[in-house]
């Protein structure tokens, strides 16, 4: 099994506060790991650390090519949804259909509801060819249909040899390994 994300003895300090230390994590092909914990325990920071957006105080982080979904939409709000997604490349149409927003292709991003915007952000990542997906609170703003679609897309990705690291304060649908922070 190839490791898509490996953290060895990692410590992360933010705002003078030590969020975690000596953290080891190995995410192999086909793995799903949920980072759980109360607010402020460092779930989002761990996702950003894994993405390379934050630097560890100590330890080593190795990652493969990845896709990141967090609270930021990162889409041109004035552009139609398909055009905005196409800026980031990949199989945009397929991802839009998978997430149930195929009929919104010509709608400007600024007019999307928060749930539709969340699906769009997920489609941005899922359209990529990256095998490692980092998801920060992926269930936020999603309705039941959105959760089911997300679950199906993740299951297919993992089955195809991808890996997912997701931070969520609520249980994610399906079988996930769990890493509890702030426990």
Partner 1 sequence: MISALIARDARRAFTGAAWLPIAFFLLVAALMPFAIGPDAQLLSRIGPGVLWIAALTAALLPIERLIEPDRVDGVLDQLFVHGMAEESVAFGKIVAHWLTFAPLLLIAAIPASALLALDGASLARTEIALLIGTPGLAALAVAVAAVTAGLPRAGSLAGLLLFPLAVPLLIFGVGNALLLEGAVSLVLTAGAPFVAGAAIRAART
Residues lying near partner 1 in the complex (CB under 8 A):
51-54, 65-68, 70-78, 87-88, 124
Bridge partners of 136? 167
Smallest distance from the beta carbon of 173 to partner 1, in angstroms?
25
Token code pair at residue 67: 């896709």
Nearer residue to partner 1 within complex by CB, 61 or 74:
74
Smallest distance from the beta carbon of 40 to partner 1, in angstroms?
14
Instruction: Please say whether the beta carbons of 181 and 36 come within 8 A.
Output: yes
Nearer residue to partner 1 within complex by CB, 74 or 152:
74
Buried b / exposed e along 131-165 (16+ C-beta atoms within 10 A): bbbbbbbbbebbeeebeebbeebbeebbeeebbbb
Nearer residue to partner 1 within complex by CB, 72 or 170:
72
Nearer residue to partner 1 within complex by CB, 9 or 52:
52
Closest to 106 in 3D by CA, of 87, 128, 84, 127: 84
Smallest distance from the beta carbon of 144 to partner 1, in angstroms?
26
Smallest distance from the beta carbon of 72 to partner 1, in angstroms?
2
């Amino acid at each position: 099994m190839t490791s898509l994300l490996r953290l060895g003895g990692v410590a992360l300090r933010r705002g003078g506060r030590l969020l975690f230390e000596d953290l080891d994590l190995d995410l192999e092909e086909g793995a799903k790991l949920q980072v759980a914990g109360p607010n402020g325990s460092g779930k989002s920071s761990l996702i950003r650390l894994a993405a390379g957006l934050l630097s560890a105080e100590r330890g080593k982080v190795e990652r493969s090519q990845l896709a990141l979904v967090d609270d930021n939409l990162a889409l041109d709000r004035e552009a139609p949804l398909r055009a905005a997604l196409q800026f980031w490349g990949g199989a945009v149409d397929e991802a839009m259909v998978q997430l149930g927003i195929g009929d919104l292709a010509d709608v400007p991003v600024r007019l999307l509801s928060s749930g539709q915007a969340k699906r769009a952000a997920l489609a941005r990542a899922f359209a990529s060819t990256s095998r490692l997906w980092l998801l920060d609170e992926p269930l936020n703003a999603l309705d039941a249909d959105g959760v089911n679609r997300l679950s199906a897309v993740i299951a297919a990705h993992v089955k195809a040899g991808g890996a997912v690291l997701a931070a969520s304060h609520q249980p994610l649908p399906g079988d996930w390994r769990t890493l509890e922070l702030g426990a």
